[in-house]
Amino acid sequence: MNLLLQVNGAPVQVDVEPGVMLLEVLRDRLGLLGARGACGVGLCGTCTVLLDGEPISSCILLAPLAQSHTITTIEGVPDDDPVVRAFDRHHAFQCGYCIPGMVLTARSLLAECARARRSPSREQIAESLGGNLCRCGCYVKIIDAVQEVGS
């Protein structure tokens, strides 16, 4: 079937089988490699992309369900984004595999906090990032970075 997707602000058309996941469309068809598959069950968060600004697991989202939503991947986040810069300043990464998912999820949290005019606490940040696993164990610095942007 023919899908019309809005990816990082631009419309793209792809022809896919209905049973294909959004992750494969992004990686294999559109060359956007920042979303990764690491667990196959939507738990680890490395496949995170934003759908209308909210994080979802792209590895278990059937691609047709992503139509009529805006999709944001890490490639759509500019280098001078405050969250990206904060991660860089705090060195909130090691291998980097989980970091795009962390950055996207953090941006969504911070946008929600900005709308509510509040700063997230460390516990709230951990809550929001609880579904993004980092085996390298960068949680402390990641929370530091997000807290700094949110304050």
Partner 1 sequence: MTWMAPRTVAEAVRLKAEWPEATLVAGGTFVGILTRQGLLASDDWISLQDVRELRELSTGSELALGAMVTHRRIELDPGVAAGWPGVRQVFAAVASPRVRNAATIGGVLGDADYASDPPAMLIALDAWVEALSVRGLRRVPVADLIVGHYRTSLEEDELITRVLVPRGRHHVTFRKLRTRSREDRPCVAVAASLHEGRVSVVVGAVAERPQRFPDLCATWDPADGASAGEIAAGYADRIDPIGDNRGSAAYRTGMIAVEVRRALDTLAPAALTAQAAGR
Partner 2 sequence: MSDPRIRASMRYPNDLTVPGMWHARLVRSPYAAARVVGIDTSLVPQDVVVLTPSEVEPLGGYGCQISDQHVLAGVARHVGDPVVAVAAADEATAREAAGLVEVGYEELSAVFDERDALRAGAPLVHDTHAVSDGDAAYFGLRPLEGTNVCHRFRIRTAGLPQGEPYTADPEPDDHADGFEAAQVIVDETFRMPAAQHVAMEPHACVAGWRDGRLEVTTGTQTPFNLRQDLARLFGLPDTDVRVVCPPMGGSFGAKTFVRTEAIAAAVARRLDRPVRLALDREEEFVTLTRHAATVRVRLGATRDGRFVAKRVWCWVNTGAYADCGPGVAMKMGYAGVGPYRFDHVAVDSFCVYTNLPPAGAFRGYGAAQSVWASERVTDLMAAELGIDPVELRRRNLLVDGDRFCTGETMHDVHFQELLDDAARAVDWRPGGDNRGKGVAVMLKGMQTPSRAEVDLRRVGDGRFEVLSGTAEMGQGAAQAIARLAADLLGVDADQVEVPPPDTDRVPYDTRTTSSRSTHMMGRALEAAVEDLKNGGGDYGHGRVVNEGGLDVDTGQGIASSHWHQGAAAAAVEVDDETGLLTLRSVHAASYAGRVVDRAAAELQQEGSMTMAIGTTLFEELTFDQGHVVGPNLSDYNIPSALDCAAVSQTLLEVEGAEVHGLGETALPPVPPAIGNALATLGYRPTELPLTPERVLGCAEDAS
Question: Which residues 16-55 are close enough to bind partner 1 by CB under 8 A?
Answer: 17-19, 21, 40-43, 45, 48, 51, 54-55
Nearest to 123 by CA among 139, 102, 111: 139
51: contact with partner 2 by CB under 8 A: no
Give the C-alpha separation, 72 to 50, whole Å. Answer: 5
Closest separation in Å from C-beta 87 to partner 2: 5
* Single-letter amino acid, residue 9: G
Tell which phi-psi region holds residue 132, choosing left (phi > 0), alpha (psi between -120 and 50) or beta: beta
Question: Which residues 74-133 are close enough to bind partner 1 by CB under 8 A?
Answer: 105, 109, 127-128, 130-132
12 binds, among partner 1, partner 2, none (CB under 5 to 8 A by kind): none
Given the DSSP bridges, would you call strands 2-7 and 70-72 parallel, antiparallel or unpaired?
A: parallel
Give the C-alpha separation, 98 to 106, whole Å. Answer: 12
14: contact with partner 2 by CB under 8 A: no
Binding site for partner 1 (CB under 8 A): 1, 17-19, 21, 40-43, 45, 48, 51, 54-57, 59-62, 64-65, 105, 109, 127-128, 130-132
